[in-house]
Amino acid sequence: MDQYIRALEKEHMREDIPELRPGDTVRVYVRVREGNKERTQTFEGFIIRIRGSGTGRSFTVRRVGAAGVGVERVFPFSCPSLEKVQVLRRGKVRRAKLYYLRDVKGKVKIKERRS
């Protein structure tokens, strides 16, 4: 992409987000505003997708919630309301997009990746 667009994006890029890969289990801390109060919410799950580039780059975290309902949330890497991302476990996967995990019945098992 254009070097000037990159330059403009640069100031919105965040350096503090750790390197993430599909298959990683993460805990995401997001600031949410309720009325005038601000508090931090966490969302824990594994990454099934990383897409885009520049300020539009985002990752999708999937979690199986109550009653076995799958919940997916998309977080832009450059999002200002993203407080921090904690990597709980590095996963070893052989695909860039883990959409097939949506159809897995029962518990999803991802092998651990050793660096």
CB 53 within 8 A of CB 1: yes
Which range of residues in 16-24, 50-58, 87-95, 100-108 is near other proteins by CB under 8 A? 50-58
Q: What residues from 1 to 20 belong to the interface with other proteins (CB under 8 A)?
A: 1-2, 4-5, 7-9, 12
Q: Using the minimum distance from each CB to other proteins, give the nearer residue, 76 or 87.
A: 76
Nearest residue to 92 (alpha-carbon basis) of 79, 111, 75, 108? 111
Determine if 83 is a binding residue for other proteins (CB under 8 A): no
Residues in contact with 95: Cβ distance below 8 Å, sequence separation at least 6, in sequence order: 22
Among 30, 64, 79, 108, binds other proteins (CB under 8 A): 79
Three-state helix/strand/coil letters over 51-63: ECCHHHCEEEEEE
**Minimum distance of other proteins from residue 103's CB (angstroms):** 27
